[in-house]
Structure 1
Amino acid sequence: MKHLYSFLLIILFLSFSCNRPKTTQEVLKKSDSLKISLDGRIVSRLGETLIPKAKKAISDWKEYRKVDKFILRYYNISNMEALQNARELSELVKQMKDSIKIEKLKQPSVIARLNVLNNEALRLADMATIPSISNEEVKNEVEKIVEIYSAVNSKINTIYKAAAIQKSLEVDTEIPIEIREKPIKKYKGYRNKIIPPKKTKQ
């Protein structure tokens, strides 16, 4: 009988020992997932910034400078912070959109990008009022805003690069030189169609 009890105790001990690491592992897994949920941040790659010539040309555009400074925090931000700052971001973007005074930038391509940026900033601000909004939705919207802002800078750079080339070549023409822009992820780039020259009659 003593041998039977001893045998049962050994089995129970071995069973407890085998199950213990699994339980510990599950607890650690739950703790890790909680830590990710609380400490997880939306980290975006730094987009295109203004070239020195463009930066100097628009140095008096204070509304742009405010957005440029404010949006830096969105390159590394938590979901909660992104939503808390969304209203202020949308207001700054709207002020920038409505304050273009530089003639070179009063182009449909620039205005279109600013309108898209304004719409996405408003969308993020609306998300802050939705209790059921998911972290993934906030993350996607933040990434989209950062990317569109990069597209705005890219277009501004393109305009001033073209102006610099035109000036250096001393081209006397009313049609500005166009530089092909670098395509941006998730957005379709412009495709230049090659038109064959017309055949002249001989």
Structure 2
Amino acid sequence: MSIYAVTSGTVRFGGTDITDDKTHQIVNRGLSRVSQESNPIGSMTVRENIELFTFPNSVRSFDGGASDEAIASYAARVDIEDALDDDPGSLPHADVRRLEIAKALATEPDLLLLDEPFAGLNQTEVRQLSEQFESFREQGITMVVVDHNMRGLMDLVDRVVVLHNGQKLAAGDPADIVGDERVQDAYLAGEVSAVQ
């Protein structure tokens, strides 16, 4: 994963400039992210990986993590509660992705950023994860999802912004985006009937 410094402009969240904030400060403001790459700590169980994200967001604090019941509830939101005592390395790919999401949920975010959450998942897993994301939305979590899997996104999102070669190609509701010929040419290439 590459990290780029801001070269111009500002990043604002909840009306506050967070451009120069440290990661733990951004999390304290209610913003959490799930990277495209899964990075569980292999020497810790699934439970311990989730618990780590429940500690107070201070660079000095390692006390006060969530109860076992709370940790189990984060795992249950993504259907991995039966794997709490497992090592992350023993999980199938889809469950490792779910673990990453459970870790982000453990920070109790208002806004959840998801980078390629459907990467490497089969159609059934994409559908199941989309349903879980829908339940997060019903619980009041706003999500920004970056993904190439149009099928996984179309029933989930309220608004789509399509980027192509670093430029905004189109923006609108999912039905308009599916019907946009520029988007079809750039991304859908024969998949239009499958996602409508």
Fold shared, TM-score > 0.5 on shorter chain: no
Higher Cα radius of gyration: 1
| TM-score grouping bracket, smaller chain normalisation | under 0.3
More helix by share: 1
Higher RCO (CA-CA < 8 Å; seq separation 6+): 1
Select the structure that is richer in strand. Answer: 2
TM-score relative to the length of structure 2: 0.27
TM-score between both structures, scaled by the size of structure 1 = 0.26
